[in-house]
Amino acid sequence: MNSSSGIIDLIFPEKCPFCGRMKGRVKGPADVLCDRCSNELFIYDKADELPHEALEKVLRLYVPLRYSGAAKKAMLRYKFGQEQWLYRPFSQIMHIFLEANDGYSDIDVITCVPVSAKRFAQRGYDQSRLIARAISGLSGKPFRDLLRRNDTGWRNIATSTENFAQRASERRFSASRDDFCLFGTRILLVDDIFTTGSTLNECAGILLEHGALYVNAACMMSGRQDIYAFGREESA
Ligand SMILES: [Zn+2]
């Protein structure tokens, strides 16, 4: 039922993908959401500085939506309700937000925080990858799978030895290929929800180790009250 209603929404897009209300004559940003959701959820003009310690490996963070209300419900439907089609409005919103905030300029490659193979098998899709690939199509910036999520190991780091290779092998994430070189590459890293920043930091760190010039991050939404948030510039 869910997938068929999603298809109907794509064919007859006058319903808001978040709340299901019919859209009025005055459409929301780029026809994606209804007026009410647009007004409640977009946080375009609230650009605060990020707490610096939150994301030391990430240069700039772009977060178009607050993790609350209709946006939160839509994200839960997307991640856990098998409503894969929601990647489309999500990616349109992200694309509008990035364009409005100069988020694509100088970016060479778009990549994503991947789900584990186990999660992929359960869900049948990788939610952040779908959004990243879609904004790649919308922006013309190439998409590459640069990261891999390891299914096991993260909890053992605290008790592991000091041996770097062993610790590296126990990371939650690793490069998708050990030998790739990202020298000088400017990367946009896409994820679904921003919480502590540890996932983004870990992924960005791997990309920097492989030579990336810098990593910006784009997360669909965040529930944090201390960021609204994009535009943290690198400090001297
Ligand atoms: Zn709506």
47-222 has CATH 3.90.105.10 classification: no
Instruction: Please state whether beta strands 109-112 and 147-149 pair in parallel, antiparallel, or not at all (unpaired).
Output: unpaired
Measure 70 CA to ligand 1 centroid, in angstroms.
Answer: 7
Q: Which one-letter amino acid corresponds to residue 90?
A: F
Nearest C-alpha neighbor of 141 from the set 113, 111, 100: 111
Sort 33 into a burial class: Cβ within 10 Å, 0-12 / 13-18 / 19+.
buried
Please give the pLDDT value at position 87. 96
pLDDT digits (tens, 9 = 90+) for 150-175: 876 444 444 445 555 555 556 899 99
- Per cent of the chain over pLDDT 90 is 42
Rounded to the nearest angstrom, the distance between the alpha carbon of 19 and the centre of ligand 1 is 4
How far is Cα 197 from Cα 193, in angstroms, rounded to an integer? 9
**Token code pair at residue 152:** 């096991």
Instruction: Give the distance (Å) from ligand 1 centre to CA of residue 38.
Output: 7
135 C-alpha to center of ligand 1: Å? 21
200 CA from centroid of ligand 1 (Å): 29
Q: Measured between alpha carbons, how far is residue 186 from residues 135, 138, 147, 217 in Å?
A: 16, 18, 15, 11
Mind listing the pLDDT tens digit for each residue in 74-103?
A: 999 999 999 999 999 999 999 988 988 889
Tell me which of 10-14, 120-124, 140-144, 203-207 is least confident. 10-14
In the chain, the percentage of residues whose pLDDT exceeds 70 is 72
pLDDT at 162: 55
